[in-house]
Structure 1
Amino acid sequence: MKNIYSKGIAALIALSFITASCKKSSLDTVNPNAQTTQTFWKTSSDAVAGINAVYGSLIIDGSYMRFSPVIENTRGDDVTSNSPWDQIYNCGKFNLASSGFTSSIAWTAYYQGILRANEVIAYVPAISMDADLKNRVLGQAYFLRALYYFHLTDFYKNIPMPLAPPASTTDYLQKQVAQADVWQQVISDFKQAANLLPVSYATLTTVDNQVGRATKGAAMAYLGKTYLFTKDYTDAATQFKAVMNLGVYSLMPNYYDNFFLNAENNAESVFEVQFSRDAGGTDLGWGGEPESGWGRTSARAVTFGAASFGFGDVQPSQALYNDYMQEPTAAGGVDPRLDVSMFYNKPGETLYGVSFQVAYANSSSLNQLWCHKYENSEDGFANEYDWRSGINERLMRYSDVLLMYAECLNELGSTSDAYPYIQQVRSRVGLADLATVKPGLTQAEMRDQIAHERFLEFSLEGHRFDDILRWGWLQDPVKLAFLKSRDPEFNTYTPGREYLPIPLNDIETNPNLKQNASY
């Protein structure tokens, strides 16, 4: 799967640009060397190349190569930023400008992926090919389109929602759609995907049998997550339970195995973005038009990397460290997720083979916290300034399914039934039985407990701000005060700034777009 992105992307990138820009002129000319919609979508190979290109939008700068992790993480209270670059520094402080890089880079990346998915959905049905392969291709296209729209409405709220390739210039001036309607489209697409996708590709011998492609379990898990975001707890619980009943996922015994090269695409991984230092070129795709030298690597590690070893743009918060220290393990030790999540000044700590205390002697960095998750520190790197990480980004883990299911049970009034699913996650890291140490929690108390469990389980994974947003904490004076007490970056939050600004360039070129409140 790590090589999937290099097969077919160039053809679809070129085709996408041609599809999006061609206009009929008074002189009809045809370049026999250029692929068009009419010449490309003919064979099963074209269909597979097409869906491979849709995956390609996961590994560019605005999505998971760099800036989606930046946007998702910096706004939570598990993370802070002292970056010298205002496009990262201000993201966590809810102070972005509509003309800035951060405002546009994710918007551009995800709409690129949607254009490609729309082409697959529009043109693959007419191709004469194996029916099962066609279903898998279409299932993946629906899954990825849903995922891209999930991110867009989560980041920007009311957004344009094209569902077909542009047929005329008027199609470029799309009106915004209410967030509730986007969520319904996301639900519809994930349902389609779940109906079309296999549980696993392991037994297939065709051209699309790579590990890492979207599966039925991934579609059902994200369908459940979307229901959760819309507070439809009954349907969400049904989907999460169905994922569990597939019998193909389980927690990894070692929490560490979810964030590094040693155990990618493991039993806990429901869906992850595939990166590789061995596929494609050696250049990072920092944005702009795709170039032939781009690799299939991530810049997360260098961006989040510790000072002197990376850019240090993103750091764990003191609140995160403090919360890990609240509850010792049943054996009296420190929660092992602390050391997996961050580097800090402790006896024997090393970064890239260098003593933490030696590296930061006489430096303010000595008493700061630095990211460990998704860093290459154990993989023979001297530092992160190589800039090319091959570590996969895990977007959906089975532990998330368990905790989201527990949340649904609690919201549906079955608070006592939520305990065992929470305990599976706690037991993996040696924490005591929650039913013993905190028996008989009320529904409100269990909400706070689940928030705490999620905070520790998914630190630096981009889930925290989404949780804060969907729980309504920013509109709750007590919860907002709680966030401000833990993370001073929330002091500059103002209502409406929970969403990113619609990019200024799009506002200026499309009269149908309305800027988000407070920008």
Structure 2
Amino acid sequence: MKKHIYKKLFVAVALTLSISGCQKDWLDETNPNIISTDNFWKNTKDLQTGLTAVYKGFASPKNHALIQELARTDLAWANGYQRPANSNPYYLQIFTNAEQPINDKWAANYTTIFRANQVILAAERIIPTLTVATDIDFANKILAQARFFRGFHYFNLYHSFNGGVLPIFDDVPVSEADFYRPMQTAENVKKFFLADLEYAVKNLPAAWTGKDKGRASAGAAEALIGQTYLYENNFTEAAPYFKRVIDNYGYKLMPNIGSNFTTMDELNDESILEISYATGYTDNYNNYDSRDVASSAGLQLQFTGAPGTYFGAVVANWLIKEYRNDVMDTKDERNYVIDKTTGNKRLRKFSLRTSWSVAVVDDVDMPYYLRAETGQAAIFNVNMTCFWRKHTNWDLTRGENILSPGKTRSGINERLIRLGGIQLQYAECLLEMGDVDGALVQINKIRKRSGLQLLGLINSGEFPANDHDNVVYTKESLTKHLRYKEYPLELSAEGYGCERNVDLRRWNVKLDRFKELAARRYYSKEFVTKDEMGATVTRWGSIVVEVPAGDPLANSTWNEFQEAAKNYNAAAHAYFPLPNGEIITNPKLYEIVGN
């Protein structure tokens, strides 16, 4: 059970937002019974209540649009119920500014910024009036958290929309005209949110303890600053931030990668920025009620393929192949199991990283939705050959609807940034600065955690006794490995949504990537297993196999990324466009400040 105080306060969030909206002066005399910004913000208790609203805004799945962001990359095939039919505008690269998730993502991020600004302005007014040292420290930490979240949400908008050209709000609108802001240049926006994040680095704790564990920290702020520079390919500027995150905050890789994907080990030593969810409260609200403290709007469920759920996005064929071929370290005892049929010790069918990240039908060593073997869950058919385990409750229940009947809710925390990802990003910086050996050290730490064969010459590196692939890596070959193996296998379907798109965009490879993947050909074969009653069953079309172009086995209806390779246009699709809702309502939209 999660017992963090701020989560219990989430129910009051809607009230906090409502007390601070702009109101017209319908009466000359103020009604003392109406709560407003003039009479609400009086003390540190009010600041804490306002900050709770900020955390609740941060928890909205609409901030990230994870399914849509995933579908617009090379990681996923995305549609409704089964292949090959597809009408998903993000996967097809035909989305427009009228798409509701695009409008929702914009609105959700600006809503949280609006709430953060309320707290920031109130704190800056209240702190000079305080006289008790503990109250001053408490209020300063609230101010730093509010500035962190304002910075984070501008970071998110900057990397997602319109090339980073956005309206800046550093105050609380009062009149209708105050909501109409001109656009600021991308450089202005970046300076604005980096100032917030730098303030958070200096004024937030390195770590929180007890009931406060999970709050925004200085380490999370440093990580976001480092990612900002990385996403501009400014590797020399990004590297020191990543190194400090790795060295100075006490973060550690969890021994089991699965600790980052399920309800076990939440707020663990690897977590840097995490959204807390719970299903033990407010379960009487409907599926999309903003007061719910579970993960609402089906974020965890819509792209999983779990029993009874909608296939919003499933693993792309090339990525399935990489997961199936993730090479294990034969020197690592975790990679051995006792065969259920023979009683003999044997190597696992798939790597630990694969088994904790995705479900493939022939994984006989990892249960799935409380079936002894993955293939006993009867959803592997008609070329649906793999689903993400991430974000799903496969380890707790036989079906998602059992946990919250009639709803799509989950209590799994969302780990937005974790040490494993930062180490890989640091490895990229080292590579780009010419330090191949240093990059190998960081990558091999990640691989060692999951019992994978290490990269480099036999008997080399930090773990000479473990299996190595005996390859001499160059900057070019290791960069390719990092981009198309390590990043996606370690981090697919994680984070705050836009990371993979940002990577493909900054590497300037997105269109070429779609063309390359569109040229690949596949067919599927069956898998024969036993059901829970011991009867033999066949899962038709449940294992993907790649074949050369022209092979007669190739399934002509199963070619991926065909439309993406034709339709992708960087000018239209590299970023989400300005939402039509903003275009319609903001008369100052085409005024740009800072040119």
TM-score by length of 2: 0.77
Q: CA deviation at 1:239?
A: 0.8
Q: 1:88 to 1:502 in 2, by over 3 A?
A: farther
- Bigger CA radius of gyration: 2
Aligned counterpart, 2:233: 231
Match for 2:265: what amino acid?
A: A
* Conserved? CA contact 2:81–2:310, under 8 Å: no
Q: What is the rounded CA distance, in whole Å, between the counterparts of 2:46 and 2:33 in structure 1?
A: 16
1:244, distance to aligned residue in structure 2 (A): 1.8
Contact in 2 for aligned 1:301/1:384 (Cα 8 Å): no
Relative distance call for 1:138 and 1:28 in structure 2 (3 A) is same
Alignment of 1:235-314 (within 5 A): 235-284=237-286, 286=288, 290=290, 294-298=292-296, 299-306=298-305, 308-314=307-313
Q: CA deviation at 1:366?
A: 6.8
Q: Could you tell me whether the CA contact under 8 Å between 2:261 and 2:391 is conserved in 1?
A: yes
- Give the residue type in structure 1 aligned to 2:56: G
* Alignment match of 1:201 (pick from 201, 204, 208): 208
Instruction: Out of 376-385 and 478-487, give the one that drifted further.
Output: 478-487
Alignment partner of 2:329: what SS? coil
Quote the residue 2:552 is aligned against.
none
Aligned equivalent of 2:587: 511
For structure 1, which segment, 188-197 or 127-136, has the greater mean C-alpha deviation from structure 2 after superposition?
127-136
Give yes or no for the alignment of 1:20 onto 2:17.
no
User: Is the contact made by 2:79 and 2:86 (CA closer than 8 Å) also made in structure 1?
Assistant: no
Equivalent residue for 1:206? none
**Offset at 1:219?**
1.0
Q: Residues 183 and 230 of structure 1 are in contact (CA less than 8 Å); yes or no, is this contact kept in structure 2?
A: no
Greater shift, 12-21 or 424-433, is seen at 12-21
Residue type of the alignment partner of 1:77: D
The answer to whether the 8 Å contact 2:303/2:310 transfers is yes
Q: Tell me whether 338-347 or 187-196 shows the greater mean CA deviation.
A: 338-347
What's the CA shift for 1:14? 4.0
Q: Which has the higher helix share?
A: 1
Q: Of the candidates 367, 374, 399, which is equivalent to residue 382 of structure 1?
A: 399
Q: Is the 1:118–1:164 Cα contact (8 Å) retained in structure 2?
A: yes
Q: Distance in 2 between matches of 1:210 and 1:87?
A: 45
Aligned to 1:189: 196
1:459-516 superposed Cα distances (whole Å, 9 cap, x missing partner): 1214322321222223xx644533544641532322221222322122111122259x
In the TM superposition, what whole-angstrom CA distance separates every residue of 1:290-313 from its partner, at most 9, and x where no partner exists? 5x5x34334223212325432222
Contact 1:376 1:384 (C-alpha < 8 Å) held by counterparts: no
Give the superposition deviation at 1:443.
2.4
**2:450 equivalent to 1:453:** no
Equivalent-residue separation in structure 2 for 1:309 and 1:250 (angstroms): 36
Counterpart Cα distance in 1 of 2:386 and 2:263? 22
Whole-angstrom CA distance in 2 between matches of 1:510 and 1:450: 42
After TM superposition, give the deviation of residue 3 of structure 1 in Å: 4.5
Q: Quick one: which amino acid aligns to residue 493 of structure 1?
A: Y
Change (3 A) 1:302 1:54: same
1:466 aligns with 2:467: no
1:242: Cα distance to partner? Answer: 0.9
- Tell me, what secondary structure is at the counterpart of 2:301? helix
Q: In the TM superposition, what is the alpha-carbon distance from 1:34 to its structure 2 partner?
A: 2.4
Conserved in 1, the CA contact under 8 Å of 2:23 and 2:174? no
> CA 1:131 to 1:310, structure 2 compared with 1: closer, same or farther past 3 Å?
same
Structure 1 equivalent of residue 142 of structure 2: 137
SS class of match (1:142): helix
Contact 1:15 1:37 in 2 (8 A): no
The amino acid of 1:228's aligned partner reads L
Alpha-carbon separation, structure 1, partners of 2:294 and 2:81? 27
Whether contact under 8 Å (1:2, 1:276) holds in the other structure is no
**For residues 484 and 182 of structure 1, do their structure 2 counterparts lie closer, same or farther at Cα, with a shift above 3 Å needed?**
farther
Q: What runs of 5+ residues in structure 2 fail to find an aligned partner?
A: 331-346, 458-468, 521-559
1:441 match? 473
What CA distance in whole angstroms lies between the structure 2 residues aligned with 1:184 and 1:504? 26
Whether contact under 8 Å (2:22, 2:173) holds in the other structure is no
How far did residue 428 of structure 1 move? Answer: 0.9
Change in Cα spacing, 1:358 to 1:199, as seen in structure 2 (3 Å) is closer
Q: In the alignment, what sits opposite 1:92?
A: 91
Structure 1 residues 114, 484: closer, same or farther in 2, change over 3 A?
A: farther
Distance 1:286 1:513, change over 3 A: farther
Identity rate of aligned residues, in percent? 28
Tell me which moved more, 340-349 or 258-267: 340-349
Give deviations 1:156-211, integer Å, cap 9, x for gaps: 132212111114433211112223332222222111111110012227xxxxx521
Q: Deviations over 1:218-270 (max 9, x none)?
A: 11111111121122222211111111222511111111111001110111111
> What is the distance in 2 between the residues matched to 1:118 and 1:247?
28
Quote the Cα distance in structure 2 between the aligned partners of 1:466 and 1:303.
23
Q: Where does residue 490 of structure 1 map in the other structure?
A: 564
RMSD: 2.7
Distance in 1 separating the partners of 2:389 and 2:176: 47
Partner residue in 1 for 2:353: 337
Whether the 8 Å contact between 2:113 and 2:153 is mirrored in structure 1 is: yes
1:409 aligns to 2:430 (yes or no): yes
2:71 alignment partner in structure 1: 74
> Deviation at 1:441?
2.8
Give the SS at the match of 1:394. strand
Partner of 1:159: 166
The change in CA–CA distance for 1:173 and 1:34 in structure 2 (over 3 A counts) is: same
Per-residue CA distance 1:301-344 (angstroms, 9 max, x = gap): 32123254322222111111111234411217533222222222
What secondary structure is seen at the aligned counterpart in 1 of 2:492?
Answer: coil
Instruction: Select between 168-177 and 83-92 the one with higher mean Cα deviation.
Output: 83-92
- Unaligned 5+ segments in structure 1 are 204-208
Conservation of the 8 A alpha-carbon contact between 1:284 and 1:388:
no
CA contact (8 A) 2:318 2:517 kept: no
CA contact (8 A) 2:97 2:578 kept: yes
Q: Which amino acid aligns with 2:573?
A: R
Q: Is the 8 A contact 2:77 2:314 kept in 1?
A: yes
Is residue 283–residue 295 contact of structure 1 (8 Å, CA) maintained in 2?
A: no
State whether residues 483 and 490 of structure 1, in contact with CA within 8 Å, keep that contact through their aligned partners in structure 2: no
